[in-house]
């Protein structure tokens, strides 16, 4: 029998996430409906984005459940991505969601790699859209002359993000060096060089990398 997985369907019109609740479950409990206002359904994080660009020349603002509680139980999320000239959204995955990526400004190369290790990529210009299947490794690289602006939509309230380089070379505790040297066919000094270059945490942490969507982000 085939099996299918997705966020559960909502059982009421809305369930504004109560992020302060001490109850842990698959998602978040609902805020008291008597305390819900119109402001709960509107998000201004893309307008008031004060984040700094990270070491890869990227900054992003996430409208997923941890920052936009109104999407709780609705199975949707969105992020705004900005890339400096030459900036990159390094190879990563979203374990819980398919992604629709829309380029609004600039020129980028976007691509994903299948489980057969086939790369599909293309140079994108404004208003082009690409779909990235759930959990596949993908990247975005700004090849334009200025900043690039993109918006990504997901079919999950908390898609999660896992960057390949940091997962392998900057985990806690560390992946044993022997695993990395054998897997990448390099010596210990190369592994340690890569680890040292990734010792600075990714910034911003716009999406939880945890196995549970109920874990709070700081």
Known binding residues for oxalate: 94, 99
Nearest partner of 125 among 141, 140, 107, 109, judged by Cα? 107
d(CA 153, CA 78) in angstroms, rounded, equals: 4
Annotated binding residues, as ranges?
A: 92, 94, 99, 138
Nearest partner of 70 among 21, 25, 37, judged by Cα? 37
Nearest partner of 7 among 154, 138, 216, judged by Cα? 154
Roughly what angle, to the nearest 10 degrees, separates helices 177-184 and 188-197?
Answer: 110
Cβ neighbour number for residue 44 with a 10 Å cutoff = 11
Annotated binding residues for Mn(2+), as ranges?
A: 92, 94, 99, 138
């Amino acid at each position: 029998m085939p099996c299918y997985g997705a966020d559960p369907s909502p059982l009421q019109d809305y369930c504004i996430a109560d992020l302060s609740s001490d109850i842990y479950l698959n998602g978040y409990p609902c805020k008291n409906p008597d305390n819900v206002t119109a402001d709960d359904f509107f998000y201004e994080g893309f307008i008031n984005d004060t984040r700094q660009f990270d070491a890869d020349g990227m900054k992003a603002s996430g409208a997923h459940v941890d920052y936009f509680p109104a999407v709780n139980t609705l199975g949707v999320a969105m992020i705004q991505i900005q890339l400096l000239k030459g900036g990159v959204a390094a190879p990563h995955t979203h374990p819980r969601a398919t992604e629709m990526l829309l380029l609004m400004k600039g020129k980028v190369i976007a691509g994903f790699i299948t489980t057969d290790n086939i790369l599909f990529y293309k140079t994108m210009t404004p208003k082009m859209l690409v779909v990235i299947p759930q959990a596949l490794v993908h990247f975005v690289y700004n090849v334009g002359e200025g900043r690039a602006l993109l918006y990504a939509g997901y079919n999950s309230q908390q898609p999660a993000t896992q960057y390949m380089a940091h997962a392998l070379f900057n985990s806690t505790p560390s992946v044993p060096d022997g695993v990395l040297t054998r897997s990448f066919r390099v010596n210990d000094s190369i592994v340690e060089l890569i680890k040292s270059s990734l010792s600075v945490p990714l910034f911003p942490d716009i999406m939880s990398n945890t196995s549970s969507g109920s874990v709070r982000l700081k």
